Amino acid sequence: MATASSPSITLPSPQPPDATSPFQALSLTPRCCSIRELQQIQAVTIKAQLQHDIQTVTKLVNRCTSSANRECMGYARQLFDKTPERDVVLFNSMARGYACSDAPLEGISLFYRVLLSGIVPDEYSFPSLIKACGKAKALEEGKQLHCSAIKLGFSSNVYVCPTLINLYTECGEMGSARRVFDEMPEPCVVSFNALITGYARASQPNESLALFREMQARSVKPSYVTMLSVLSSCAMLGALELGKWMHEYVKKNGFDQYVKVNTALIDMYAKCGSLDDAVAVFENMAVRDTQAWSAMIVAYATHGHGYKAISMFEDMTRDRIQPDEITFLGLLYACSHNGLVEEGSEYFHSMTKKFGIAPRIKHYGCVVDLLGRAGRLDEAYKFIEDLPIEPTAILWRTLLSACSSRDNVDLGKRVIEKIFELDKSHGGDYVIFSNMCARAGRWEEVDRVRKLMSDRGAAKIPGCSSVEVNKAVHEFFSGDGTCSQSREARKALDELVKELKLAGYVPDTSLVAHAEMEEAEKEVQLRYHSEKLAIAYGLLHTPPGTTIRVAKNLRVCGDCHTAAKLISSIFDRQIVLRDIQRFHHFKDGECSCGDYW
């Protein structure tokens, strides 16, 4: 909204006011660019004694709430409060404004007031109020509104249901969101989109894709918003074949005209391990915005092509495309995973100095990772301590991982104490530090940390890897042998390890931090890591020469990394492994990371 110095709208002269002058003035409200201009129109209505006319006030309030910034909402509230006779239409306008503002719960407070004054909400009241609760993650207030909507007969309303679904997904109540959806007589595309997006955001990609199939079965035509969430779900699963089918669906239905959909395709292909397909989508885009460029920079970075990511950034700025926070995350990530410390430091400082972008916690994390991977651990520690914001457990966790890679137990001990001051529930922290101590032979420290872990009820996240075979995604957990697929994979892996040993593979049992275990037991524990099981299953069920694509929920371990290099060489297979940090492309006995990960 413009400042008070903006050119004023020429208003009809109120001296003397013509019979139609107030209405002429009100017709100008959509064109107002400042509060001052609205006040001029309000002055005309006051002179015509229309300041309490409900339709007049509603028009002025509508213009304010369309902007919904703090100043506009303050002025709208003054108009509302000074109106003696209010109706539900005027309230709905206020509710819409608050739902879009930075103070959404003000709308709920106002709702309680108008209820006491006898105003009954209608079908247009609840969507804004429920949207406000979703934005503020105010679950209890949202549930109360849901009850009110049921009492008034709006619970199945086509406008109310999507906002209820969105409320529950924003608050992590996916079961409640699904119940609202299932109770709808005829779910519309907006309701499908709300739930599909909710599943995607809740990291439940299988449910999201199942609902998309249900949408097709009901002959509900999807929108480009649907495709964004469906492609995101494919990316989470690392399901390339399914993602390619979705790409064909996108082209067939004309969704490839949307820049956001093409950007989602880039992200999907990159996360499914097919960088070439991501590049092809980018190069075929008629229009590229900041998000599209950033997606491509991040794609190059996560696949280990740091210099290409930097070159892409230079092309972006040459084309006068303004970078954003995600652009710099990609750049810093690229520098971190390619050991480009000086370049990364330069880009970090240019964020603020050259582009006016304030670093966020993830940018600070990238710098810590950049320094830690380069072995500059003390520098990384000082960087965290000198931050202008309070460090988070995630920042210290990044440094702890670097300490583990360098076997710096003393600094690691200082770091984990910092973590425990902020979060004692993350089982991975205890495991990383106890493994460090075990490798250093500090068994008393190992026992102490394991006892702490047990006493505090901190659980280790089990390793889980998935592999796509015949357009189906199969999951494997480390050490699991309960289902038929896992048993089949274990048998295949037993035979595979024999071949690997003939080729020189020696299991790195130092990674198993249990002094009481015999070497044979340690070897067995290493053998059945989830990524090895997934690779073995892929070898067993795909034709020779087929690329095996595996996605893992944790960082790949050193022993699995060594094994994957050997497998790629012995079986002449390309293996693409996505772990929590990056992609590893194994081919001819080498990895794209250059063993720097």
What is the dihedral sign for C-alpha 39, 40, 45, 47? Answer: positive
Tokens coding 354: 């050259």
Residue ranges of the domains in the chain?
A: 20-119, 121-186, 465-591
Bridging pattern class, strands 583-587 and 590-591: antiparallel
Q: Are 471 and 244 in contact (CB under 8 A)?
A: no
Q: Are 177 and 195 in contact (CB under 8 A)?
A: yes
Beta bridge partners of 576: 549, 585
pLDDT digits (tens, 9 = 90+) for 465-512: 999 888 788 999 988 777 888 899 999 999 999 999 999 999 988 777
462-493 b/e (C-beta count within 10 Å ≥ 16 → b): ebbbbbbbeeebbbbbbbbeeeebbebbbebb
The average pLDDT across 68-74 equals 85
Identify the residue with better confidence: 140 or 57. 140
Q: Are 190 and 157 in contact (CB under 8 A)?
A: no
The average pLDDT across 259-277 equals 96
390-417 b/e (C-beta count within 10 Å ≥ 16 → b): ebbbbbbbbbbbbbbbeebbebbbebbe
What was the pLDDT predicted at 14? 40
Alpha helices in 374-442 (DSSP H): 377-385, 393-405, 409-422, 427-439
pLDDT digits (tens, 9 = 90+) for 285-311: 999 999 999 999 999 999 999 999 999
pLDDT value at 515 more than 80:
no
What was the pLDDT predicted at 23? 63
Q: Are 572 and 544 in contact (CB under 8 A)?
A: yes
Tokens coding 544: 């020779």
d(CA 75, CA 38): 10
pLDDT digits (tens, 9 = 90+) for 328-382: 999 999 999 889 999 999 999 999 999 999 999 999 999 999 999 999 999 999 9
d(CA 37, CA 325): 36
How many CA atoms does the CB half-sphere of 129 hold within 13 Å? 26
What was the pLDDT predicted at 511? 76
